[in-house]
Amino acid sequence: MSIHLVIIDALNLIRRVHSAQPDETDIARTIDTTSRTLQRIIGEADPTHIIAVFDHHLQDRGWRAEVLPGYKARRKPMPQPLQQGLDQIQQAWWELGIDSLLSEGDEADDLVATLATKVAAHQEKVTIISTDKGYCQLLSPTLQIRDYFQQRWLDAPFIENEFGVKPTQLADYWGLTGISSSQVPGVPGIGPKAAKEILTQYPDIDSAYASDDLPAKYRKKLDEHIELARVCKQVAGLKTDIELGFNLQDIRFSGSPA
DSSP 102-148: E-SSS-HHHHHHHHHHHHHTTT-EEEEE-S-GGGGGG-BTTEEEEET
179 is in an annotated binding site: no
80-95 and 10-19 helices cross at what angle (nearest 10)?
120
> Is 187 annotated to bind ligand?
yes
Answer yes or no: are the C-beta atoms of 65 and 71 closer than 8 Å. Answer: yes
Packing angle, helices 27-45 and 80-95, rounded to 10: 40
Asked if 153 and 128 count as a contact pair (C-beta separation under 8 A), the reply is: no
Question: Is 23 marked as a binding-site residue?
Answer: no
Cβ burial of 15 (10 Å; 0-12, 13-18, 19+) is middle
User: In angstroms, rounded to a whole number, what is the distance separating the alpha carbons of residues 127 and 134?
Assistant: 14
Known binding residue 106? Answer is: no
Is 60 within any annotated ligand binding site? no
State the Cα–Cα distance between residues 180 and 193, nearest whole angstrom. Answer: 16
Residue environment code for 125-139, b if the CB has 16+ CB neighbours within 10 A, otherwise e: bbbbbbbebbbbbbb
Q: Exposure of 176 by Cβ count < 10 A (0-12 exposed, 13-18 middle, 19+ buried)?
A: buried
- Classified as helix, coil or strand, 196 is helix
User: Is there a contact between 118 and 66 (Cβ–Cβ < 8 Å)?
Assistant: no
Cite the annotated binding site for K(+) by residue number: 176, 185, 187, 190
Q: Which residues are annotated as a binding site for Mg(2+)?
A: 109
| Residues of each annotated binding site | 109, 176, 185, 187, 190
